[in-house]
Structure 1
Amino acid sequence: MSKVWILILVLFSYNSFAAPKSELWSYWDVHSQSQQSIDHSQWQSILDTYLVTQGDLTLFRYASVTKADKQRLKTYLSSLASIDPRQYSKAEQYAYWVNLYNSLTVQLILDNYPVKSITKLGSLFSFGPWDDKLISVTGKSLTLNDIEHRILRPIWNDPRTHYAVNCASLGCPNLQPQAFTAQNTEQLLTQSAKVFINSDKGVKVSNGALQLSSIYDWFAVDFGGKKGVLQHIAQYHDDLATADNLATFNGKITYDYDWQLNETAK
């Protein structure tokens, strides 16, 4: 295949990106009253060591990850794979799936590093690796899309999930510096929503024009449609005057998303 055709295919897949629908995988919609907790300390250690805050961004030092910490990450993922999350409480499960998604994404980047964008991964004709089978839990092979769109979105129906899962891109809501737990999930979801909405990559108002993250276009249905998106944004915006204007905004909205890798060398 010529380089020209490859370029055309890449550009076509980039411009035709469409977000998957929320479609329940009912096998995972089972919860217990167990008070048991899942240990995420190994993931927390990785975050403490390699996640760096720079302005409104949290960036990952992929190039600095040691061989020992790559093994630590694999051990952590193996421990999650050995668990049947259905035997835990619903709150414990949410933390499990978010941490599994985020740690799998980091491992994907590390396994293919150096790479400029996660969209460069996956098969030649795919836009990124989100449909690649990456892990098996209770004998079920899972993709990142399975975790986000067949488990997290349909079971919890919380639009703030879009601020919790991280796709290793600058345009994505930040990878949180804390591993999710049953105890801190609500705090982290609220915090991540506020940080994203009050950053230019989330919401940018300039001379009466409104630019939003493409997340609010791709997943508008999760927020209750276009009007629901604006009301959601207004709820978390720090500037009250801006929030009031956003809630009733009726002008043109543009969308943007930066797929560059969320990395830093520092």
Structure 2
Amino acid sequence: MRIVIAIWLLLFTLPIFAAPKSELWSYWQPHDPKNTNKISHQDWQQLLDKYLFIQPNQTLFRYNQVSRADKQKLATYIKRLSIQNPHRYNRDVQFAYWVNLYNALTVQLIIDNYPVKSIIKLGGLFSFGPWNQTIITINNKKLTLNDIEHRILRPIWQDPRIHYAVNCASLGCPDLLPKAFNSDQLDAQLDQAATRFINSEKAVKITKDGITLSSIYDWYQADFGSLTELQQHLNHYRVTPNVQLTQIRYTYNWQLNQKL
């Protein structure tokens, strides 16, 4: 009986996370490189300006302070994005569209289910978080957060900095950034996001016993390459002394990134 209970605890009470692979959903590949039209993310920016609490090493969101009017503003913004046809825009506009949409949807999920201690508590009894739940419909296609990140963003753009752009409402995650992604400034914004995360201890923590890295570098090893390539990537953005990746451990904090 004790063995049965122990197995049950391992299966159903401990967080188990297997990162999805990058698998292209080819429907979302079309784009129009000649189209110079933009998509406004001003409403999302206003919400960030009002509710994002910025600290040197961590941004926090005031989920419990969002007014009824601003909840409606967020819903309206997401609805407006959902009726756009991303195929009509160029790649940079598409990238900003998908990243801002992902982050806005994540914030909406937390607000709608608040109070909650962690995003991994959402999604049902046997689910690790809400990432596989249908959350939006675009072009008559039902999408999940995992679809946006792993079937659109990662395979189409193939840029490891995507992991610093999408936010999962957790303290261990790269920060929800103060500025909405802008199609005219993507490369600079992605570099800023990488620099901010990599120079925080939640990404790289050096102790006398070795180096603790964010589990992001374990889950998405395929995106960052070999250990040598990962080391080069980290050192490219570090402003403190370079790291040598030996005696590595991985960790991640799923606690909610909230400001009370």
How far apart, in 2, do the equivalents of 1:130 and 1:164 lie? Answer: 16
Q: Which amino acid aligns with 1:103?
A: A
Matched with 1:145 is: 146
RMSD: 1.5
Distance 2:12 2:41 in 1: 37
| Matches of 1:76 and 1:231, distance apart in 2 | 39
Q: Which amino acid aligns with 1:111?
A: D
- Give the equivalent residue in structure 2 for 1:11: 13
Q: Supply the AA of the counterpart residue of 1:223.
A: F
Q: 1:26 aligns to what?
A: 26
Partner Cα separation in structure 1 for residue 118 and residue 8 of structure 2: 17
Tell which deviates more after alignment, 97-106 or 229-238.
229-238
Q: Which residue of 2 aligns with 1:59?
A: 60
Which whole-Å CA distance do the structure 2 matches of 1:226 and 1:123 have between them?
36
**Residue pair 1:180, 1:188 contacting (<8 A) in 2 also:** yes
User: Contact 2:209/2:247 (CA < 8 Å) preserved in 1?
Assistant: no
Contact 1:118-1:128 within 8 A present in 2 as well: yes
Identify the residue that residue 189 of structure 1 maps to in structure 2: 190
SS in structure 2 of the partner of residue 162 of structure 1: helix
Q: Specify the code of the residue in structure 1 equivalent to 2:129.
A: G
The number of residue pairs the alignment matches comes to 255
Secondary structure, aligned partner of 1:160: helix
Which position in structure 1 is the counterpart of 2:255?
260
Deviation, structure 1 residue 11: 2.6
Q: How does 1:1-266 map to 2 (within 5 A)?
A: 8-12=10-14, 14=15, 16-32=16-32, 33-207=34-208, 209-239=210-240, 242-243=241-242, 245-246=243-244, 249=245, 251-265=246-260
Q: Deviations over 1:98-145 (max 9, x none)?
A: 001000000000010000000000021110000000000000000000
Secondary structure, in 3 states, of the residue corresponding to 2:249? strand
Q: 1:4 to 1:264 in 2, by over 3 A?
A: farther
8 Å contact from structure 2 (residues 102, 145) kept in 1: yes
Q: What letter corresponds to residue 23 of structure 2 in structure 1?
A: E
Q: TM-score, normalised by structure 1?
A: 0.92
What is the SS of the residue equivalent to 2:222? helix
After superposition, give the CA deviation of every residue in 1:35-57 in whole Å (9 maximum; x if it has no partner): 00001011001100000112300
Structure 2 CA distance for aligned equivalents of residues 111 and 6 of structure 1:
30
Cα distance, 1:6 vs. partner?
7.8
After TM superposition, give the deviation of residue 225 of structure 1 in Å: 2.6
Structure 1 residue runs of 4 or more that deviate by more than 3 Å after TM superposition? 3-10
Unaligned runs of at least 5 residues, structure 1:
none
